[in-house]
A and B are shown apart, each in its own frame.
Chain A
């Protein structure tokens, strides 16, 4: 595997279900991100883990819970979601604070989530 991978690619869940999205980066980066992409809206940053510290966006509902067990893996745990949470969830990674001054993020293919 290369780059950033995400599983599953598609997920349909009911409002009472609990599921998890997985992201893995094979780039040796030290920061990982979760974004929500809805139709006709800019990408919304949900969570960031950088240098093993979690930077949380306070506007994200508590039904979304991130987990970063190490610098290569990132999870997004989902429970009691609402239909408006249906969207494409993108994971990204970057290399931070090493003097490279590049700061670009590399994205995974996304998980298309449908909440019924």
Chain B
């Protein structure tokens, strides 16, 4: 079964600085999808960015970008120009196209310091 590991339980960043959150996963599949979700204190889980494994180009959404290293099974999230509203739990997730199972990491709590 696929597993997702987030090795950083907590991270902090100064406002306007850049921070990178780490995620690794284990799979034997060649086709899959990876996601980063954000869960602010209000609890609504929000999709931040997604990456299809068959695409070599790293996904980017405004200030959010990923570094997808398929061979290393690594999927890190970079947040540029951090804002106070970025403070939240961030979850990395793996999805196989062959079933409905979405596997989540344990999460990284990001604190943004003014």
Which residues of A pack against B, CB within 8 Å? 31, 33, 40-43, 45, 48, 50, 55, 88, 90, 92, 94, 96, 101-110
B102 surroundings in chain A (CB, below 8 A): 33, 45, 105
Q: Across the interface, do A43 and B104 meet the contact criterion of CB distance under 8 Å?
A: yes
Cα-based distance from A102 to B44 in the complex (angstroms): 20
For chain B, residues 74 to 99, give those with C-beta under 8 angstroms from any C-beta of chain A: 91, 95, 97, 99
Tally B residues with Cβ within 8 Å of A. 24
Cα-based distance from A94 to B102 in the complex (angstroms): 11
Known A33-B100, A40-B106, A109-B43: A104·B52 in contact at CB below 8 Å: no
B46 surroundings in chain A (CB, below 8 A): 107
5 additional A-B residue pairs with CB within 8 Å, beyond A41-B106, A109-B42: A43-B91, A45-B102, A96-B100, A101-B97, A107-B37
The yes or no answer to B33 lying at the interface (CB within 8 A) is: yes
Most buried by A among B4, B100, B105, B107: B100
B47 surroundings in chain A (CB, below 8 A): 104-106
Q: Across the interface, do A42 and B43 meet the contact criterion of CB distance under 8 Å?
A: no
Q: Across the interface, do A107 and B106 meet the contact criterion of CB distance under 8 Å?
A: no
Cα-based distance from A64 to B109 in the complex (angstroms): 30
A103 partner, pick from B44, B91, B95, B103, beta carbons under 8 A: B95
Q: Return A68 CB to nearest CB of chain B, in Å.
A: 13
Q: Across the interface, do B43 and A88 meet the contact criterion of CB distance under 8 Å?
A: yes
